Amino acid sequence: MSDEPTRPSEAMPQRERTAVLGHFCEHIGCGKDAGWGFARPKQASHWFCYEHRSEGEKFL
Ligand SMILES: [Zn+2]
């Protein structure tokens, strides 16, 4: 089997991407995929990653 992809890093992303959600951590200098959203009625939502999700609680 010598016809394997020569660059497996392109064929298989190193980490699952959640960019489909379109949200990234708002912590300065972080920018990771944000899985935690915080929002109050009639206000813009704020998004943070797992590491910084506690920062979002101040928006609630
Ligand atoms: Zn973060």
Between residues 44 and 11, which one has the greater pLDDT?
44
Tokens describing residue 51 = 């590491």
Centre of ligand 1 to C-alpha 57, Å, is 13
Centre of ligand 1 to C-alpha 20, Å, is 17
Look at residues 22, 35, 48 and name the one whose alpha carbon lies nearest to residue 58.
Answer: 48
Please answer whether residues 48 and 26 qualify as being in contact, where contact means their C-beta atoms are separated by less than 8 angstroms: yes
Residue 8 has what pLDDT? 54
What distance in Å separates the CA atoms of residue 12 and residue 22, rounded to the nearest whole number? 21
Centre of ligand 1 to C-alpha 41, Å, is 23
Pairing label, strands 36-38, 46-48: antiparallel
Centre of ligand 1 to C-alpha 28, Å, is 8
What distance in Å separates the CA atoms of residue 49 and residue 27, rounded to the nearest whole number? 8
Centre of ligand 1 to C-alpha 60, Å, is 17
pLDDT level of residue 7 (50, 70, 90 thresholds):
low
Residue 3 has what pLDDT? 72
Predicted TM-score (pTM) of this structure: 0.62
Q: What is the pLDDT of residues 12-57, one digit of tens each?
A: 444 544 444 588 999 999 999 899 999 999 988 999 999 999 999 9
